[in-house]
Copies of this chain bind each other. A is one copy, B any other.
Amino acid sequence: MAHPVEKLTSLQNPRIKQLVKLRDRRPRDEAGVFLVEGYREIRRALEKNIKLQELYYAPDWFLGENEPALIAQAQAAGAKLFELTKDTFAKVAYRERPDGLLAVAPQWRRSLADLDRLLDGQRETGAYPGSMVPATLTPFVLVVEAIEKPGNLGTILRSADAAGCDAVIVCDPVTDIFNPNVVRASTGVLFSVPLVVEESARVLTWLRGRHIRTVATTPAAQTLYTAADLRGPLAVIMGSEQYGLSEFWLNNSDLPVRIPMAGQADSLNVAMATIITLFEAVRQRS
Q: Which residues of A contact B (CB under 8 A)?
A: 44, 155, 158-159, 161-164, 187-189, 192-193, 226, 259-264, 266-269, 272, 275-276, 279-280, 282-283, 286
Contact = CB atoms under 8 A, between A and B. Distances in A.
Given A162-B267, A187-B264, 11 more contacts: A44-B264, A161-B263, A161-B264, A161-B267, A162-B261, A163-B263, A164-B262, A187-B266, A260-B282, A272-B275, A276-B279
Contact of A264 (B188, B260, B266, B272): B188
A273 B22 CA distance: 34
Contacts of A272: 155, 158-159, 162, 275
25 contacts: A44-B264, A155-B272, A158-B269, A159-B267, A159-B272, A161-B262, A162-B259, A162-B262, A162-B263, A162-B267, A162-B272, A163-B262, A164-B262, A164-B263, A188-B264, A189-B264, A192-B264, A226-B283, A226-B286, A259-B279, A260-B286, A272-B275, A276-B276, A279-B279, A279-B280
Contacts of A163: 262-263
Nearest to A265: B162
A259 B269 CA distance: 21
Nearest to A266: B187
A36 B268 CA distance: 21
Contacts of A286: 226, 260
Contacts of A159: 267-268, 272
Contact of A158 (B259, B267, B282, B283): B267
A282 B280 CA distance: 12
Nearest to A193: B263
A215 to B, nearest CB: 16
Contacts of A187: 264, 266-267
A229 to B, nearest CB: 15
Contacts of A193: 263
Nearest to A165: B262
Nearest to A40: B266
A220 B187 CA distance: 22
A189 B267 contact: yes
A221 B155 CA distance: 25
Which 9 interchain pairs have the tightest Cβ spacing?
A164-B262, A161-B263, A162-B267, A158-B267, A161-B267, A276-B279, A226-B283, A162-B268, A162-B263
